[in-house]
Amino acid sequence: MTAVSDRTPVTLVSSLHREAAARIANALALPGTALISHDLRALPLGYVLRQTRTVLGGADQFAIEGVKLEHGCATCTLRHDLLPLLRTLHRTPGVERIVVVLDPAFEPEPVVAEIVGTVVETDELPAGTAGDDVVVRATLTSVDAASWLEDATGDRTLTEAGVSAVEDERTLAQAAVAQVRFADVVVVETSGAADDRYRDAQLSAALRRINPAAIQHPVRPDDPFGPDELLISLATVRPESRRGRLTTPFDPLLDGCPPLEADCGIEVVTFEAPRAFHPERLHGALDVLLEGVICARGRLWLTSSPDHVLWLESAGGALGISKVARWLAARSEEELAAVDPEVRAMASLRWDGEHGDRHSSIVVVVHRADRAEIEEALTGALLTDAEIACGADYLAALPSPFGDVHHDPCSDSPRGESDSISHEETTR
């Protein structure tokens, strides 16, 4: 594996708007830079459009190529095209940095997961992951101040919104929130007009509570928008920023210390409980997280899956729950030895003699919902003292509408099978 200092740095650029992402990428096109983008709008025709631009030795070269779909899957095509290309560019003389412009339908975190976790096997390259040769140093996301909050709180799918050219049940809200949550710098395109000041302040408050570690870089129509401004923002990225770090099931939910007080109607609601949820009552309570809520995320302890951490994540009118790991209390001594010491230390702070580290913890960012209503609904879904007294066998046998993966609003078809955020079982 190549030492981190010798890997080629990669910057990811994401946005719901292609033009905005292109402006950021072009501003980062300094000498020694290779830019890559994949446009998925040609998917119905059986290919994706790959654009590359290299600024090397004083020459600016641009190429467009249609990449045939592998297995009829956009994600598989990117695995077969983007990952080998990153490894090849790492070996290309003169390439000092790489900028990857993501199609609006893609979220940055799963792309990073592919870079660090997927083995690339070709005749031209030694076996290994793209992460052996490159390292994601930063992610920049552009948001439109006029539309982002509406996009992030709605329930339109990517297909309905015209972002995806093929059927995609993920929502625009899921993509919008995922892009912001993973960003190190959020470029906010705003009019700068006096009439829009409250809207801009409300958006800033929302972004600060979703991703408090990210630098917000406002851009008005008459502002300079070039490498100097973006490089200054990148240089001031906070130590706690993501910088390509993947989400794990035991991450602090208030990472980055978001403001807890309300601002412009935007507020963070936290919910903690040292007891399990009743499966059917929780299912009935989930609607409270789909109205007036920008996003929610957290760990759930469910009676029907007592050994598993269930991860809840919502954006706008869409919500998903999935098994992501096992509680430390359900692991063997050998398995515990492999767990990150920081995770073990955090678990010890809440350790219960009977239930170990099992707990429920949810953080909700609201813009119209009532805090008391959320707290009341979630509290009402917890087990009662009388139910707990019935014993472990009774609790484990309670009917549950949740399987390994569950989506609300309930549907027969899953949302975002391959391109949405996923959490693999981890010992971190």
What pLDDT, on a 0 to 100 scale, did the predictor assign at position 415?
37
Q: What region does 255 belong to: left with phi over 0, alpha with psi -120 to 50, or beta?
A: beta
Q: Per the structure block, which two tokens stand in for 82?
A: 């983007």
CA 167 → CA 123, 159, 162, 415, distances in Å? Answer: 34, 6, 10, 10
Give ∠ CA 179-25-67 in degrees, rounded to 5.
85
Question: Which pTM value belongs to this model?
Answer: 0.93
Question: E-assigned strands of 43-202?
Answer: 47-56, 59-68, 97-101, 119-120, 128-129, 134-144, 185-189
**CA–CA separation, 207 vs 189, rounded Å?**
13
Structural domain boundaries in the chain: 4-235, 267-408
CB contact set of 381 (below 8 Å; sequence gap of 6+): 277, 278, 281, 282, 284, 285
Query: Which of 241, 225, 229 minimizes the C-alpha distance to 189?
Result: 225
Q: What is the fold, at CATH topology level, of the domain defined by 267-408?
A: Hypothetical Protein Yjia; Chain: A;domain 2 (3.30.1220)
- Burial (CB < 10 A; 0-12, 13-18, 19+), residue 417, is middle
- Burial (CB < 10 A; 0-12, 13-18, 19+), residue 358, is buried
- Is there a cis peptide before residue 409, judged by omega within 30 degrees of 0? yes
DSSP 8-state class, residue 73: B
Which single residue is written with the structure tokens 């130590």? 239
Q: For the beta carbon of residue 272, count every other beta carbon within 10 angstroms.
A: 13
Query: Which of 428, 300, 424, 292 minimizes the C-alpha distance to 371?
Result: 292
CATH tag for 4-235 (out of 3.40.50.1100, 3.30.1360.70, 3.40.50.300, 3.40.605.10): 3.40.50.300
Q: Per the structure block, which two tokens stand in for 250?
A: 């035991």
**CA–CA separation, 283 vs 3, rounded Å?**
47
CATH topology of 4-235 equal to that of 267-408?
Answer: no
CB contact set of 412 (below 8 Å; sequence gap of 6+): none
What pLDDT, on a 0 to 100 scale, did the predictor assign at position 194?
94
Per-residue pLDDT of the chain (428 residues; tens, 9 = 90+): 667 779 999 999 999 999 999 999 999 999 999 999 999 999 888 889 999 999 998 789 999 999 988 776 778 888 889 999 999 999 999 999 999 999 999 999 999 999 999 999 888 999 999 999 999 999 999 999 999 999 999 999 999 999 998 888 899 999 999 999 999 999 999 998 999 999 999 999 999 999 999 999 999 988 877 888 888 888 888 889 999 999 999 999 999 999 999 999 999 999 999 999 999 999 999 999 999 999 999 999 999 999 999 999 999 999 999 999 999 999 999 999 999 999 999 999 999 999 999 999 999 999 999 999 999 999 999 999 999 999 999 999 999 999 878 887 765 433 333 333 333 333 33
DSSP 8-state class, residue 305: S
Asked if residue 169 lies in contact with residue 405, where contact means CB atoms within 8 angstroms, the answer is: no
What pLDDT, on a 0 to 100 scale, did the predictor assign at position 1?
61
Asked if residue 97 lies in contact with residue 10, where contact means CB atoms within 8 angstroms, the answer is: yes
**CA–CA separation, 404 vs 425, rounded Å?**
12
